[in-house]
Every structure is written in structure tokens, then in C-alpha cells.
Amino acid sequence: MIKKEMMLKPIGIVHSELKLSTHQPDKDIDSGEKILQIRDHHQQVKKAVSEIEIDPAYEELLEGVEDFSHILILYWPHLIPDDERKIRMVHPMGRKDLPKKGIFATRSPVRPNPVLVSSVKLLERNKNCLKVQGLEAIDQSPVIDIKPVVRERYSIENLKFPDWLLQAHRELEFD
């Protein structure tokens, strides 16, 4: 039986130079322009240094996190309007030249439960504050969980990707 309701409470908040999301569900934007926007955003995110302020009540839970080089940050995209959470199909990355796919086949932030995750480099811990690099969350995003990246847990062999995603990444020159 599927439980009808859940409650998530933020454990912290993101302080970031990233103020706006590039999220624009199915807006009419030229593919070439969209590719440039995504590429620029990706480069900005890679370089961005953010601070995650954890509620002092949870500071003890951070003990030992500084021993990891990378962590996963689970966060809530707080600026996504509720009505967009009902969207079922999107053009991946907002690119009209790519076929529409179901939300669960994309990394779109518009989802029934918009829990997003970023793998980031942990630069430093100072009490209840973490300085990280590469966090895609925008300023003031609520943080809902933190997990260490463990190589053995995530080294998956023979990953399979759809052609549209491989094409998009080639065009974006993601590294």
C-alpha cells in the first residue's frame, strides 16, 4: 500500500551566487540558443562555490563528513510553482529538438516530488556550515539530506544511455 502523505523538513539552506534557475518548461527557444544557455549554466555551476548552512540542531550529524572529498546534496527546488509539478512530459533540457519524454526519464526539476540531487566537491566544513563546489541548487534552496559519495557504491559498469541524451551531451561538450 502506498502511503498518502509524507513530511520532509529542511535540515539546512543553500547560500549561493546562483540566483536564477535555467528551468523553463517547454518555452519557445531556439535549439542553438538553448544549447548555449545550458552550456553556460553548466560552466557556471561547475565553478560555483556555495555554502550550505545546516540547522545547528543537526550539527552533530555532520561529524566525519569532512573526511570525504565529495558528497551528495538532496534539495528542494523551492521556486518551482506547484502547478508545474503536474507536468508529465517534457522536452529534455527544454530543447524542442529532442523528443518529449516522461519526467522520470529526465532530470527535469518539475516532478511530482521535486527532490533534486547534486554531487559536489566538499571544500571545507566549519561547524554547521559546509563549503562546496558544483552545487546546482540556487540561493535559498532548502536542503533535505546529505550523503557521502562512496566509490564502491556508485561505480556502475555498463551504463546504458538513450541516443538523445548522448547526442545532447556531445553537443553541450559536457565533461
Does residue 171 belong to any structural domain of this protein?
A: no
Does residue 1 belong to any structural domain of this protein?
A: no
Does residue 164 belong to any structural domain of this protein?
A: no
CB 41 within 8 A of CB 22: yes
Rounded to 10 degrees, the C-alpha dihedral 48/114/170/166 comes to 150
- pTM (2 decimals)? 0.85
* Interval 23-32: pLDDT, tens: 555 455 566 7
Domain containing 54: what range? 12-150
What is the count of structural domains for the chain? 1
* Interval 152-172: pLDDT, tens: 766 677 888 899 888 888 877
| 1-5, 89-93, 133-137, 166-170: least confident range | 1-5
Does residue 52 belong to any structural domain of this protein?
A: yes
CATH code of 84's domain = 2.40.30.70
| 12-16, 44-48, 65-69, 85-89: least confident range | 44-48
Does residue 166 belong to any structural domain of this protein?
A: no
Angle at 126 between CA 14 and CA 55, to 5 degrees: 50
Per-residue pLDDT, 26: 46
pLDDT at 36 > cutoff 90: no
Which three three-digit cell numbers place residue 157? Answer: 559498469
